[in-house]
Structure 1
Amino acid sequence: MLAAVLALALSQNAPTVPHPLKWEPRVDIPVTTALVGGWVLSEFAFKKQLGAPACRWCETNGFDLGVRSLFNPSMQPSPDGITAPHVASNLVGFVSLPILMVGLDALFSWREGGSIETFLVDVLIVLETTFSALAVNQFVKFAVGRGRPYTVGASDEIYASGHDVADNNLSFFSGHATFTFALASSAATVATLRGYKFAWLMWAVGIPLATATSILRLAADKHWTTDILLGSAFGLAAGILMPTFLHGRVGPVEARIAPMPNGLAVTGRF
């Protein structure tokens, strides 16, 4: 009995890595599935019906115009914005960043002795966080109906000739910025909560790539700076706060040994 008590007490000095995180499969799996499915449907099936046919927020301000002029000095309207940085933003934000974040998490989980379940739970938490942020972003974009920079001064012919006309008035706030900052920060936060030794690398890689994506969106004439700033801040906040408060570490066992008249007493949290 005494040996068992001493072993329990000594084990508290050797914390488990990866640390177990709070999650509830009966809640988190269906919620994440619904969030992902809802965003996909709203983006690819019902955007034309949900989006504003004309801008509801058409005015801009000196700050946004000034920054736009740095990236697009001509300030000329176009059907879809500027193609090269638009494609680059998709490649960086929707391909490179997710692959790197998932790949690093898989590597760190394996390195620290985590199971396949550990990795899959990490991915689930990141997906739940990212698409929760995107759900809010999508609702605001449809409700606000801010015209994209490339639509300013566009003739009806130019306005209607774009590849995705339903996307013309979904500028506020940036979905790319929301997605990339939520993904990068949630993946890095989960790695930090797990206690992965090189979790800092996910911050060092993810945040610069998210920032690069946002800058490319400005260069593509797809967003005003205020769209980017809010999307970045909102995505970053969601990515840090949701995993921290909804999926924090499972509390460790705490044991204390106290002498009693007839032996030893073990107290604590189990």
Structure 2
Amino acid sequence: MRAIAAITLSAALVALVSLSPAAAAEPSPELTYWPETDLPITVVGGAAWVATELAKKGLAPASCRWCAVGRLDASVRDAVVWRGNPDTAHDLSNVTVLGVAPASALGLTALAAWHDGRSENITADLLIVTEAMVVAMDLNQLTKYVVGRQRPYAHFGNDDVLCSHGGCSPPVPHDADLSFFSGHTTAAFSLAAASGTVASMRGYRAAPWVWAQGMAIAALSGYLRMAGDRHYLTDVLTGAAVGSAAGVLIPYLFHGPRPGVAGPDTRSFRLSIAPAHGGAGVGVAGHF
């Protein structure tokens, strides 16, 4: 998977560099951005998600509340699950969502700003993208604990999953009834949609590449969750819908340009990077 990640980012960099730099890019719109508000929301929301993961034993339902499986979910599950090695798909989905998807979304957004000569936007852009993902994941976590849907490997008694770690029991304690909806898919689609939305709102020339790369990776993550027998089709589709909605609406509704509204914007907080004695120097300036 390191090779996949390297190829993904290399292809993105080649695509950005290949864009014609003949005409200077128009100055990108300033987005509404309050670091004193957006940063705490992101940090507290992320901490809340981590806390609920650590407290899974007390929060997860003792048994499934949603145990039945519809015909569509059952038929798709039979068609796509990796027989004999579903854990390989599960591992690949972890690498994709925890590594490739954030590296692509955040990296391409930063590269798009840099390529257009708007490096001062990078800090705000990345925080907005991360904020959208955190909000989507908190909503996902709350829904999982409330709904209590049984995972497919548990419902169908898939020994390739249950007996693959030295004992025939759920591979992750207290996790067998947290299927709805897919957190991996939610994270990947929220990152893809938020990075694409921010790039489009800024008017970056590389915005189409940001959208295409992010959505392709997100779709792959959803497929791998089903191939690993961790989620049903409806889990994945719901995660894609919620993640995409959060990724589009949070930047658009809360961070879009507000003509005539006074207040801090992206120029109130800047991160600069410059060569220094064979290395790099980092500087932060702004109003805090």
TM-score category (smaller protein): 0.7 to 0.9
Offset, 1:194: 0.9
Task: Give the counterpart letter for 2:86 in structure 1.
Answer: I
Find 1:129's aligned residue among 121, 126, 132: 132
Offset, 1:182: 0.5
Find 1:40's aligned residue among 35, 50, 72: 50
Q: Is the 8 A contact 2:82 2:89 kept in 1?
A: no
CA distance in 2, matches of 1:153, 1:113: 54
**Structure 1 residues 1-270: aligned runs within 5 Å:** 17-43=27-53, 45-72=54-81, 82-116=86-120, 118-154=121-157, 161-251=169-259
Offset, 1:252: 7.4
Q: Is the 8 A contact 2:25 2:116 kept in 1?
A: no
CA distance in 1, matches of 2:105, 2:228: 25
CA distance in 1, matches of 2:38, 2:128: 8
Aligned length: 233
Q: Is the 8 A contact 1:194 1:249 kept in 2?
A: no
Are the structure 2 counterparts of residues 15 and 207 from structure 1 closer, same or farther at C-alpha, using a change threshold of 3 Å?
A: closer
Task: Give the counterpart letter for 1:152 in structure 2.
Answer: H
Say which one has the larger Rg: 1
CA distance in 2, matches of 1:33, 1:206: 23
Q: Aligned with 1:167: secondary structure?
A: coil
Task: Give the counterpart letter for 1:93 in structure 2.
Answer: V
CA distance in 2, matches of 1:225, 1:15: 42
Tell me the TM-score normalized by structure 2: 0.75
Q: Is the 8 A contact 2:196 2:208 kept in 1?
A: yes
CA distance in 1, matches of 2:82, 2:256: 47
Offset, 1:110: 1.4
1:108-157 CA-partner distances (Å, limit 9, x unpaired)? 111222234x11111111111111011111000001110000001439x9
Q: Is the 8 A contact 1:18 1:109 kept in 2?
A: no
Q: Which range is displaced more, 92-101 or 214-223?
A: 92-101
Q: Aligned with 1:176: secondary structure?
A: helix
* 1:8 corresponds to: none
What do you get for the CA RMSD once the two structures are aligned? 2.5
Q: Is the 8 A contact 2:110 2:126 kept in 1?
A: no
Offset, 1:26: 2.2
Tell me the TM-score normalized by structure 1: 0.80
Structure 2 unaligned residues grouped into runs of 5+ = 1-23, 262-288
Q: Aligned with 1:165: secondary structure?
A: coil
Task: Give the counterpart letter for 1:56 in structure 2.
Answer: R
**Deviant stretches of 4+, over 4 Å:** 157-160
CA distance in 2, matches of 1:73, 1:219: 5
Q: Is the 8 A contact 2:149 2:178 kept in 1?
A: yes
Task: Give the counterpart letter for 2:29 in structure 1.
Answer: H
Task: Give the counterpart letter for 1:119 in structure 2.
Answer: I
**% of aligned pairs identical?**
38
Task: Give the counterpart letter for 2:43 in structure 1.
Answer: T
Structure 1 unaligned residues grouped into runs of 5+ = 1-13, 254-270
